[in-house]
Structure 1
Amino acid sequence: MDKVKPGMIVERAIIGSTGEILLNKGVHIDARYIQRLKDIGVPAIYVRDENIGKVEYDEVVSNQTRLEALSVARDVVTNLRLRSDFDIRRVNKVVDDLVSELVTSRDLLVALIDMRAANDEGFYHSVNTTVLSVITGLGMGYNDKQLRQLACGALFHDIGVILLPPELLKKPTPLSPEENKQILKHPELGFQILRKKEGVSLMSAHVALQHHEKFDGSGYPRGLAGDEICEYARIVAVTAIYDNFVGLGSNKQLVLPHQAIQYLIKYGGIWFDPEILKVFVGIIAVFPIGSVVQLNSGVQALVTRANKNHPSRPVVRVFKNRLGARVAPPFEIDLEANPEYFIQTIVVEEP
């Protein structure tokens, strides 16, 4: 946000912590908008750069469906905090919509970094974890019933957290051993909520119970290992950690997809199921659209399109030569078709 200037144009809709659209694509930003976005903790936005040209991108899920999923997640949590019931029909409807759209988008890579406000309370994380989980399930050949069970479990994998004391979750100092024990109870609390809810499958409830179990048996609450852990929970163990890394909030340091993937691979077979991890890595664009990269030739380029067959070799648009001078007009290189070029590093600065 520190680099946003009045007159810039929003290139991707900015969504607030309650699921509302703050600014739509195409809006010209003024000083008032900039200050408001900073005030509510939006850390970064996508803007149009006329010097580089138009960049097309495909959303794996429409804004409308994403917003409805955010709204459903928020309403469920609000009702449970008030010791009230929640509408399972609305949950099932949004799960159906998410799965239907993702089935249609099965050939797309997850190619964009999601920006979320600092006070999001985890709703965006829940929805993103669901999207990533369903795409992973598609890669594993799941049928519609399995995808819906997985989606429901992923959407509410952390629901037990709402039964913990709020002051514990917001405590600025390290937790005592007793307080840490309380935190570790949230999987079982979440399981109890979901297993008692008519219309939620036991398989979905087990995602809440087991998503902190680790492949080598070192997780909690039961120390399960390997195939003892429900497969849906093994998927969410991967997708939730990945989204925690790359979901850019104002209080987080930027972690890029290739760095998050390196971390997951490091612990493959230890904390994470290696077969699930292999499928998951195939659905992520290692270099997100909009990333500024430097090629081995020394030129700087913008990632404009992901390659499904080679996620680490996208299409890039060169806009600076190796001496740092602007290239006019910019030109594209498909790294998949030109093996002599490769991405040497990501440039974390404005073009």
Structure 2
Amino acid sequence: MKKKVSVSQLEPGMYVSDFNNGWNEDARSGKDPNGLPQQMMLKSDADVRRVLADSTIREVYIDTERGRDVEGAKSQAEIEAELAAQMMELGEEGNAVKLPNPDVKKQPMEQELEHAHEVKQKARRLVGDMLDDVRLGKTITVGPVKELMKDMVESMFSNKDAMLSLSMIKAKDEYTFMHSVNVGVFLVAFAQSMEMTPEELVAVGVGAMLHDIGKMKTPQEVLNKPGKLDDEEFLQMKMHVVHSEKILAAAPGISELSVQIAGRHHERWDGSGYPRQLKGHAIGQMGQMSAIVDVYDAITSDRCYHKGNSPHQALKRMMEWSKFHFNPDLFQKFVQCVGIYPMGTLVRLHNGYLGVVLETNTESLLHPVVRVLIDSKAKKKLKPVTLNLIERKADKNWAVEGVEDARKWGVDPKKHMPKPELFQ
């Protein structure tokens, strides 16, 4: 049986099956040249000290069938059940996200997709060009990014799901700059749900789009290394935050809000982050929000060294980590922003049907719009049909009962998302 324990409870003879530190996109690094393995038998006090030396690891999972037990520790199944219950509670109607501007009529997703796709493509090209400029030692100008962000904010107010749906389209070989674009999209949506002004949203978007620009100062062999980083390489990787902050601070017309996002997106609520080990509210609200968004996009992306989590699974894992690494209140607000069942999640309905979530309903996060594809009881594919579950909320047969592994059912969620007309 797998159980979760505090690192303070670790003793020789225990088998660590999961170090529970996937929140860190640089978790492939370690405190020694070989780093910590994914699993480990603690054979001695020295092994225990080796785990304790990593201040980012607070709780781990042990396998009691392969090593010593801890009496009273909760099982992985119990933890999963608790997390599922917490997610459901966040989705209750009393916890719905307020519309950022109730006077602005929300446009249908299909209608806004064309505009959102155009903005996203501009962002892709612009960020790519700016990263190349920094690599070549040129000074950046933020004017074009500000203009782009005005368009993005406008699209978000029309229908944020249109822009968020396009953020599912990711390629491993484009991670460095598409991660920047996606963090911009998600952080603007998050800030919008916090009722920030359009001017503030533009500043947020600029900082988010350029938050990793300092990585162009990181040696490419370190940035793209598929294996574990040694101590020196990890230090080089962490320096990208300092570089990003300096590059943006030197750009004429930049907002302090934008610089703060670049400099603090790797700080952590418990003080275990970098580069300044800021703790709690000392990080600042935008630093805390950008940390959440940065990790969410990173762990839902396929990388050369790991397969991305599904959106719902990522949120559950991050909820587990939030008591240490993220502001718990802000994380809950982020979940309510992207949805309990984010777009692209394969959900199982009470009647046994499986469907991909296409849109969230802010007034009831537990009743998204889904594309029904499979009858899991009969184990057969269905003629795809789109249903708004909020229209069937009185019938429990159409209630979401859980989440399925899309890969297990041979489903690629991206193929079923609404597309702009040019891709129809």
CA distance in 1, matches of 2:383, 2:124: 42
2:404 match: 346
Is 1:323 the counterpart of 2:378 in the alignment?
Answer: yes
Is 1:232 the counterpart of 2:286 in the alignment?
Answer: yes
CA distance in 1, matches of 2:145, 2:299: 26
CA distance in 2, matches of 1:107, 1:116: 16
Aligned partner of 2:395: which letter? N
Aligned partner of 1:276: which letter? L
Gaps of 5+ in 1: 1-55
Runs (4 or more) in structure 1 with deviation over 6 Å come to none
The CA deviation at 1:127 is: 1.0
Q: Where does 1:16-31 land on structure 2 (aligned, <5 Å)?
A: none
CA distance 1:103–1:168, shift in 2 (3 Å): same
1:100 match: 154
The match for 2:332 among 265, 278, 288 is: 278
CA contact 1:153–1:208 (8 Å) conserved in 2: yes
CA contact 1:136–1:280 (8 Å) conserved in 2: yes
CA distance in 2, matches of 1:237, 1:243: 10
CA contact 2:117–2:166 (8 Å) conserved in 1: no
CA distance 1:159–1:324, shift in 2 (3 Å): same
CA distance in 1, matches of 2:241, 2:184: 17
CA distance 1:146–1:303, shift in 2 (3 Å): closer
CA distance in 2, matches of 1:251, 1:174: 9
1:183 match: 237
The match for 1:140 among 158, 177, 194 is: 194
CA contact 1:301–1:320 (8 Å) conserved in 2: no
The CA deviation at 1:215 is: 0.9
The CA deviation at 1:201 is: 1.5
1:308 match: 362
CA distance 1:153–1:332, shift in 2 (3 Å): closer
State the SS of the aligned residue for 1:146.
Answer: helix
Q: Which moved more, 1:172-181 or 1:188-197?
A: 172-181
Q: Where does 1:5-24 land on structure 2 (aligned, <5 Å)?
A: none
Q: Where does 1:108-119 land on structure 2 (aligned, <5 Å)?
A: 110-111=164-165, 114-119=168-173
CA distance 1:322–1:226, shift in 2 (3 Å): same
CA contact 1:234–1:272 (8 Å) conserved in 2: yes
Q: What does the per-residue CA deviation read over 1:210-238, in whole Å, with 9 as the maximum and x for residues that have no partner?
A: 11100111111111111111222211101
CA distance 1:186–1:332, shift in 2 (3 Å): closer
CA distance in 1, matches of 2:215, 2:278: 21
CA distance in 2, matches of 1:329, 1:261: 27
Count of aligned positions: 297
State the SS of the aligned residue for 1:213.
Answer: coil
CA contact 1:108–1:308 (8 Å) conserved in 2: no
Aligned partner of 2:299: which letter? F
Q: What does the per-residue CA deviation read over 1:131-189, in whole Å, with 9 as the maximum and x for residues that have no partner?
A: 11111111111112211111111111111111112222233443221222222211111
CA distance in 1, matches of 2:135, 2:386: 54
The CA deviation at 1:245 is: 1.9
State the SS of the aligned residue for 1:283.
Answer: helix
CA distance 1:247–1:280, shift in 2 (3 Å): same
CA distance 1:175–1:71, shift in 2 (3 Å): same
Is 1:336 the counterpart of 2:393 in the alignment?
Answer: yes
Q: Which moved more, 1:227-236 or 1:340-349?
A: 340-349
State, as a whole percentage, how many aligned pairs show the same letter. Answer: 26
CA distance in 1, matches of 2:291, 2:114: 21
Q: Which moved more, 1:313-322 or 1:93-102?
A: 313-322
Is 1:246 the counterpart of 2:303 in the alignment?
Answer: no
2:320 match: 266
1:210 match: 264
CA distance in 1, matches of 2:265, 2:394: 40
CA distance in 1, matches of 2:396, 2:378: 23
Gaps of 5+ in 2: 1-108, 412-424
Q: What does the per-residue CA deviation read over 1:233-273, in whole Å, with 9 as the maximum and x for residues that have no partner?
A: 21110111111122356864241111011112112242111
Q: What does the per-residue CA deviation read over 1:293-322, in whole Å, with 9 as the maximum and x for residues that have no partner?
A: 433333334545432223333244365362
CA distance 1:289–1:237, shift in 2 (3 Å): closer
TM norm structure 1? 0.75
TM norm structure 2? 0.63
The match for 1:124 among 178, 184, 188 is: 178
RMSD (Å), alpha carbons: 2.9
